[in-house]
Chain A
Amino acid sequence: MDKFITLDGLVAPLDRANVDTDAIIPKQFLKSIKRSGFGPNAFDEWRYLDHGEPGQACAKRMKNPNFVLNQARYQGASILLARSNFGCGSSREHAPWALQDFGFRAIVAESFADIFFNNCFKNGLLPIVLPKTEVDALFGLTEHTPGYRLTIDLPAQRVVRPDGHAIPFEVDAFRKECLLNGWDDIGLTLRHAEKIREFEARRRVEQPWLFA
């Protein structure tokens, strides 16, 4: 996993609540057996005017000029600004894969759906929950300020606006360590292999039917 320490990036706003994983990456693209290459199909149904299918060359497709992420001013954005319950719906990790492949490294929102939130951390994509008042202000600033950028400082756990206003955010200590170091969860867990074996052996005696 890539490390995440600090990020200074262009912000793109997606001003709607309950953005679901079917919208982030429609089901036809889940047929891939790879982890990469989902970026061109992120938000496929909102982003293009035609219907997308796997294997299409997306560069030639007609883009929907009304979809915010297609606007020239947001090209190259690495921070997505969103509303409440972002990433609701399915457990498909293809959603964070698609957002990351699209170019996002962090998502700032009022709230996230649990599974999506969790999946982001496994991929070095940082989901940040901020209070509604701060998110409201950021939507206003992003819309009214061409080239609006934010700095995300993970060690200090704050989002810093260009005017110097710093907004603190929460992140679990364990997840933070993993992101800062780019650690692989599996490697970390396997340090406890002996404990897992002991637990399993005990369970096998107490509830043998679970090991049939």
Chain B
Amino acid sequence: MSKTLYEKLWDSHVVHVEEDGTALLYIDRHLVHEVTSPQAFEGLKLAGRKVWRVSSIVATADHNTPTSHWERGILDPISRQQVETLDANIRETGALAYFPFKDRRQGIVHVVGPENGATLPGMTVVCGDSHTSTHGAFACLAHGIGTSEVEHVLATQCLLQKKSKTMLVRIEGKVGAGVTAKDIVLALIGRIGTAGGNGYAIEFGGEAIRALSMEGRMTICNMAIEAGARVGFVAADETTIAYLKGRNFAPKGADWDKAVAYWRTLVSDADARFDIVIDMDARQIVPQVTWGTSPEMVTGIDGTVPAPEDFKDPVKSEGVARALQYMGLTPRMRIDQIAIDKVFIGSCTNSRIEDLRAAAAVARGRRVAANVKLALVVPGSGLIKEQAEAEGLDKIFIAAGFEWRQPGCSMCLAMNDDRLNPGERCASTSNRNFEGRQGAGGRTHLVSPAMAAAAAIAGRFADVRELS
């Protein structure tokens, strides 16, 4: 019988099935960070249980770590305690790899896993973080989980899971110049809504997806959760295989050949059936900018802010009115007339080398506008930072007036000192524009790295396609 990729990944990990279909799925890779793991390790200890398979764990500290003045350590005592708790837990239990604060290879957990080859096709990957869907770019079944589930995986190497329905998002055609993976996924969320993928596993396919680098595919899968889907993935192909070759934890020698032969089967069969198929035309997608407090509140750079009365559903209409009030925007305002205060280029969505190159290409030889108080570039990991510096990207950013920082989650969720002050407006390459996400009262507009750089230069949102 023909199978979707989801069914192949699912079937190859089922250990046991309950009568109602609830399955025990075996977990190959467990990524751990400091925020969602302390209670899980504590629970394990209190119950007198041991970690089932230490070599499945890859850990790093990312959410709380500062992005400047590393010589001072972590000044916030509560943040420091959380990071030190992770240090202690990993010291006690062990791990395949741990990249602690200040380690050369430390970085955002969803950046560090793939770049070290710790995320491999056909794996089940979990992490106590909703953006674990990122790893689906490697034809993985990657689930964001809560802390109870972190403890469950530590103790049993399994996850209790009900099978999802399947959705194929098929994006045909080639995107135009200046249009990136971020714009594709924001346009999709604008179309199906933030609950559109609830209950579904999304496979991203079609010419526009096949044409993306692994970095671009990670950006797309990363935001599957913003479309409501806990897992999103892309079939394995030559791009996947080429990316993995030679990476730290990727197989070597005869194992590599055997692995590659298996990975090539990680595609949906030609006649496989999906519960729903969404078709999009890549040629219609323009650079996207969110205007509200949910990622579905998004439009093109050539668009305008809507009015509450544009929406018939009263709950939605009130939601839009509340969002516009929070965002300090008026209906019918042109997106390219919205001035910004800060810029954030980073996060597990857009902090990889390709993202930094795209932003640097816009920043090169230009200056951050006078009205922009702070423009931050936060690479996703220490290795990306090194690579960017070897390519001279740091010098381009610094010359243009950006700040070049140390790796971490930073202002995506503002658990460290990088944050917006009340009322400040930010062009951000992160994934969520919720109220207060980047700091209480802060106003977030989600964009691609190139569009964030363009906004930094113009001091307002600007169409990157019109910059010569």
Chain A residue with minimal CB distance to B147?
A: A93
Q: Find chain A residues with CB under 8 A from B152 CB.
A: 185-186, 189
Cβ of A30 and Cβ of B259 under 8 Å apart? no
Could you tell me the distance in whole angstroms from the C-beta of A40 to the nearest C-beta in chain B?
A: 16
Cβ of A33 and Cβ of B81 under 8 Å apart? yes
Cβ of B146 and Cβ of A22 under 8 Å apart? no
Complex Cα distance, B22 from A190, in Å, reads 15
Q: Find chain B residues with CB under 8 A from A22 CB.
A: 413, 432, 434-437
Cβ of A18 and Cβ of B85 under 8 Å apart? no
Q: Which of B121-129, B204-212, B270-278, B448-456 contacts A (4 or more CB under 8 A)?
A: B121-129
Q: Find chain A residues with CB under 8 A from B79 CB.
A: 31
A-B contact pairs, 5 of them (CB 8 A): A20-B434, A27-B414, A88-B195, A195-B15, A210-B120
A93-131 CB contacts (< 8 Å) to partner B:
93, 96, 111-115, 118-119, 122-123
A168-189 vs B, Cβ < 8 Å mask (1 yes, 0 no) = 0000111100000000011001
Q: Which of A72-80, A150-158, A201-209 contacts B (4 or more CB under 8 A)?
A: A201-209
Contact of B228 with A by CB under 8 A: yes
Contact of A34 with B by CB under 8 A: yes
Could you tell me the distance in whole angstroms from the C-beta of B16 to the nearest C-beta in chain A?
A: 5
Q: Find chain B residues with CB under 8 A from A185 CB.
A: 148, 152, 160
B22-81 CB contacts (< 8 Å) to partner A:
22, 24, 26, 28, 35-36, 38-39, 42-43, 47, 49, 52-53, 55, 63-64, 76, 78-79, 81
Interface size on B, residues (CB 8 A): 82
Q: Find chain A residues with CB under 8 A from B155 CB.
A: 186, 189-190
Cβ of B36 and Cβ of A27 under 8 Å apart? no
Cβ of A51 and Cβ of B440 under 8 Å apart? yes
Could you tell me the distance in whole angstroms from the C-beta of B253 to the nearest C-beta in chain A?
A: 10
Q: Find chain A residues with CB under 8 A from B251 CB.
A: 209, 212
Contact of A54 with B by CB under 8 A: yes
Q: Find chain A residues with CB under 8 A from B128 CB.
A: 91, 93
Q: Which of B233-241, B316-324, B351-359 contacts A (4 or more CB under 8 A)?
A: B316-324
Could you tell me the distance in whole angstroms from the C-beta of B97 to the nearest C-beta in chain A?
A: 11
**Known contacts A111-B198, A172-B162, A203-B26, A91 near B42 by CB under 8 Å:** no
Cβ of A91 and Cβ of B122 under 8 Å apart? no
Give chain B's interface secondary structure class.
loop
A-B pairs with CB below 8 Å: how many? 193
Interface size on A, residues (CB 8 A): 60
Q: Find chain B residues with CB under 8 A from A209 CB.
A: 120, 250-251, 255-256, 258-259
Complex Cα distance, B155 from A190, in Å, reads 8
Contact of A35 with B by CB under 8 A: yes
Complex Cα distance, B103 from A54, in Å, reads 28
A55-101 CB contacts (< 8 Å) to partner B:
55, 83-85, 88-93, 96
Complex Cα distance, B229 from A208, in Å, reads 31
Cβ of A115 and Cβ of B319 under 8 Å apart? no
Complex Cα distance, B24 from A185, in Å, reads 11
Cβ of A93 and Cβ of B148 under 8 Å apart? yes
Contact of B94 with A by CB under 8 A: no
Complex Cα distance, B319 from A22, in Å, reads 16
Contact of B310 with A by CB under 8 A: no
Q: Find chain B residues with CB under 8 A from A190 CB.
A: 155-156
Cβ of A16 and Cβ of B319 under 8 Å apart? yes
Q: Find chain A residues with CB under 8 A from B262 CB.
A: 207
Q: Find chain A residues with CB under 8 A from B26 CB.
A: 196, 199-200, 203
Q: Find chain B residues with CB under 8 A from A30 CB.
A: 35, 63, 415
Could you tell me the distance in whole angstroms from the C-beta of A96 to the nearest C-beta in chain B?
A: 8
Kindly identify which residue among A17, A89, A122, A173 contacts B432, using a CB–CB cutoff of 8 Å. A89
Q: Find chain B residues with CB under 8 A from A18 CB.
A: 194-195, 294, 319
Q: Find chain A residues with CB under 8 A from B129 CB.
A: 90-91
Q: Find chain A residues with CB under 8 A from B435 CB.
A: 22-23, 45
Could you tell me the distance in whole angstroms from the C-beta of B226 to the nearest C-beta in chain A?
A: 8
Q: A18-B319, A200-B157, A207-B262 are in contact. List 7 more A-B contacts (CB 8 A).
A: A16-B319, A90-B413, A90-B432, A115-B130, A119-B148, A186-B155, A190-B155
